[in-house]
Amino acid sequence: MLTKFHILFLALGLLLLQSIAVAQSCQSQRVKLQMLGTGGPELLNERASTGYLIWLDDKASIIIDAGPGSLQRFKQSGAKYADIRAIFFTHFHVDHSADLAGYVKGGFFSERNLNLPLYGPSGDTFILSADDFVKKLFSAAEGVYPYLDPTINPQANSAYKLLPHTIQWSYQELDPIQVYADKEFKVTSVSVHHGPFPALAYRVEVAGCVISFSGDMSGRLNTLPDLTKGSDLLVAHNAIAEDATGVPQLLHMKPTIIGKIAGEAKVKKLLLTHMMERSINRQDETVNLIRKSYQGPILFPRDLESFHP
């Protein structure tokens, strides 16, 4: 027989479960993903190269990649550099990183006075690590732009410092790891296969929402399904068509691989970007191939378009 105490205990338990569910649900209207660049490295269309911007409560907060032209889109978006909490690079190919120096130089003319963390993968024979990439750009001793040394030199006078953090990329250590957290954001990364080039995918959690980014990858390490599980938005790079051979298919995902990942991870919406000439005119074919494994919404964003999770 239930006593008043038991009934009160059950009622309190139900309220607790409801409050947890509300806290974990995606507060969609608070969060926005904006496209700063939806193209690849080609010089053949009007798209900027890869770049993404996450907004929280109408403030630009997280930048993912900074390919050529994406800085101009950042300016057009109305975002404030002073509001950015961190910059994350999937890897340091030109079409994902070339606008960083423009951000740093432009920062001198902004109201920014807080240090800016920057994250990216470790390096190898073909490409620099996050720490070395920043050093080679800005250090007085060996930088391409040594006059910007104050932004990384602890002894120099500067309104803020750029703080690089290298995330270890590995073929062996394939578990997702948390790389950043503040009061609102949590960012997790995992190693992905992009030919011989160290590269990362990211999962960003904010306000109960999950936005994931594949970056450039072939899918061969099979690390993306776990990282992106249950994502409200998955930004996947569609740089090649299904019949790609040779080097391209060692660097990028074919549509069937994108579909399998999205289906296995049960993502709620799939955004296909990093469009190139070899994929941009085959969108109907791409959708049909992805549909074999994934039945959710599939969109092909353009620069400056925004999406709520």
CATH of the domain at 151: 3.60.15.10
Whether 188 maps to a domain, the answer reads: yes
pLDDT value at position 1?
53
Residue type, 51: G
The 10 Å Cβ neighbour count of residue 103 is 20
Q: How far apart are CA 19 and CA 63, in angstroms?
A: 31
For 190-228, the pLDDT digits (tens) are: 999 999 999 999 999 999 999 999 999 999 999 999 999
Whether 229 maps to a domain, the answer reads: yes
The pair of three-digit structure tokens given for residue 63, joined into one six-digit string = 């930048």
For 272-288, the pLDDT digits (tens) are: 999 999 999 999 999 99
3: pLDDT confidence band, cut at 50, 70 and 90?
low
In Å, how far are 81, 83, 99, 149, 207 from 63, measured between CA atoms?
Answer: 10, 11, 12, 22, 17
Find the length of the chain.
309
For 102-142, the pLDDT digits (tens) are: 999 999 999 999 999 999 999 998 999 999 999 999 999 99
Q: Are 184 and 56 in contact (CB under 8 A)?
A: yes
Whether 138 maps to a domain, the answer reads: yes
Whether 260 maps to a domain, the answer reads: yes
Whether 69 maps to a domain, the answer reads: no
Whether 107 maps to a domain, the answer reads: no
Nearest residue to 293 via CA among 268, 261, 249: 261
Whether 50 maps to a domain, the answer reads: no
12: pLDDT confidence band, cut at 50, 70 and 90?
very low
Q: Which range of residues forms the domain containing residue 161?
A: 112-301
The more confidently predicted of residues 156 and 4 is: 156
Whether 61 maps to a domain, the answer reads: no
Give the CA count within 13 Å in the CB-facing half-sphere of 193. 17
First CA to last CA distance, the chain: 46
Domains of the chain: total: 1
For residue 51, the 8-state DSSP code is E
Q: How far apart are CA 277 and CA 68, in angstroms?
A: 17
Question: Which phi and psi (to 5°) does residue 151 adopt?
Answer: -75, -15
Q: Are 257 and 217 in contact (CB under 8 A)?
A: no
